[in-house]
Amino acid sequence: MTRWLLTGGAGYIGAHVALDLLASGREVTILDDLTTGLRSRIPDGADFVEASVLDTDAVRRALDGVTGVIHLAAKKAVGESVEQPLLYYRENVGGMVSLLQAMADAATPCMVYSSSAAVYGEPPWSPISEDSPLTPLSPYGETKVIGEWMVRDEAVARADSTPLSWVTLRYFNVAGAGSPELGDTSANNLIPMVFDALDRGEAPQVFGSDYPTHDGSCVRDYIHVSDLAAAHVAAAALCESGGVAAVFNVGTGVGSSVLEVMGAVSDVVGRDVGAVAVDRRAGDPPELVASVDRISAELGWSAQRDLRDMVASASAARG
């Protein structure tokens, strides 16, 4: 039996990953500073350390007996990162320095890193493969690119002494909930924002209707958080086999437009949500869809749930 440390394990995604790791027969320690994570999300059976990844000593202590780290703890709001870049560099890049130092000290052999489709910026083609250029458009995306480089560089440096086997997962647009109590409470993303608008009795907004897409609204690759959690367990298992250095997109490979998401919400709530078109939001690429060939071939993982599952489970999680 192996033990994995989950940084950010009390967050929306982390809580789903923790449950799946436990179900896979692995032991789990969650390290979370609870700034956005919730104590209530920490599952029975997981050990818990309340600390920031910036606290290298605390991380080092938590790594005792640990085979690998799944590193999810990070700031993740694109707009906030533009306004406060140093906050993002301190938390995301500084957090990675601290974590990798503690892992080197403890000779921890495995790492799964939570990256983002934000590393691609505005991609020149779609679907986008892992070898495409990395041209992030925000400090958030930049910190994710730097984090990827740091993991890769550290594995090279440790190769002859304490080898580090690693997988980077580039998440596309994560949505839905594995159970009603595990929903996304941050409301920064399209589906929670649509439900928030409906709760206020307002019309949900479509940011831009003149994009060069099939219906004029932006296209994204929405991935169910339960599918994403399963990808982490597969990545952890691959890392445990040793000698791994891999980057995978995690998406469905299927694009959905904002209008199609509105349609799915209308189906789930049983009435037309009456979405209104407003101006474009600055910095939104027209289309961002994952090529999933590599993760399917090399990790044997593919998404099992569709947009309707995401919208229905997100709705159920709102109570």
Alpha-carbon distances, residue 100 vs 59, 93, 114, 177 (angstroms): 10, 11, 14, 30
Q: How far is residue 114's CA from residue 169's CA, in Å, rounded to a whole number?
A: 5
Q: Is 222 a catalytic residue?
A: no
Among 207, 245, 267, 298, binds ligand UD1 (CB under 6 A): 207
Closest CA to 40 of 84, 5, 9: 9
User: Rounded to 5 degrees, what are φ and ψ at 138?
Assistant: -145, 160
Residue 288, interface with ligand UD1 (CB under 6 A)? yes
Closest CA to 31 of 87, 76, 69: 69
Task: Return the number of the residue (26 or 76) whose C-beta is nearest ligand UD1.
Answer: 76
Q: Which of residues 237-266 bind ligand UD1 (CB under 6 A)?
A: 258
Residue 289 sits at the vertex; the CA angle it makes with 182 and 68, to the nearest 5 degrees, is 50
Among 132, 189, 266, 296, binds ligand UD1 (CB under 6 A): 189
Catalytic residue among 113, 120, 140, 171: 140
Residue 179, interface with ligand UD1 (CB under 6 A)? no
Task: Return the number of the residue (54 or 193) whose C-beta is nearest ligand UD1.
Answer: 193
Q: How far is the CB of 197 from ligand UD1 (least distance, A)?
A: 7
Among 34, 49, 77, 316, binds ligand UD1 (CB under 6 A): 77
Closest CA to 223 of 283, 169, 269: 169
- Write out the catalytic residue numbers: 140
Q: Rule CB under 6 A: which residues touch ligand UD1?
A: 76-78, 116-118, 172-173, 188-190, 193, 205-207, 218, 220, 258, 281, 284, 288
